[in-house]
C-alpha cells in the first residue's frame, strides 16, 4: 500500500467538489522531473512553498490555480468535451 506522502497526483469529483491531491514525495519527483534545474532539499517545506505560490491572490482575487483551471477549460472545449460552450461576448 502506498503511503500518503508517496501518492501520485489524484483527481476526483467527490461531494460536488473537484479534489486534487498529491503526496509530498510525489510532488518532489514531479518538480525535479519537470524542472530539472531545481533540487528539492525538504519535501515538506517545498510543498508549503508550492501551496503558497499557487494560492497567492492577485488584487482581483485570482490565483495561478485559477489560471490553470481556465487553461484546462479552454483545452477541454477545444477537445469537444461536454459541459462547456463558448460564451456570446
pLDDT tens, N- to C-terminus, the chain (89 residues):
668 999 999 999 999 999 999 999 999 999 999 999 999 999 999 999 999 999 999 999 999 999 999 999 999 999 999 999 999 97
- Alpha-carbon distance 82 to 76, whole Å? 8
Of the chain, the end-to-end C-alpha distance in Å amounts to 50
pLDDT of residue 1: 66
Amino acid at each position: 500500500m502506498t503511503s500518503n506522502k508517496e501518492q501520485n497526483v489524484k483527481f476526483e469529483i467527490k461531494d460536488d467538489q473537484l479534489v486534487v491531491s498529491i503526496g509530498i514525495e510525489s510532488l518532489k519527483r514531479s518538480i525535479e522531473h519537470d524542472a530539472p534545474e531545481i533540487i528539492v532539499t525538504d519535501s515538506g517545506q517545498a510543498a508549503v512553498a508550492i501551496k503558497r505560490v499557487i494560492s497567492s491572490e492577485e488584487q482581483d482575487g485570482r490565483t495561478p490555480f485559477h489560471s490553470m483551471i481556465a487553461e484546462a477549460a479552454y483545452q477541454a472545449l477545444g477537445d469537444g468535451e461536454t459541459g462547456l460552450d463558448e460564451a456570446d461576448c
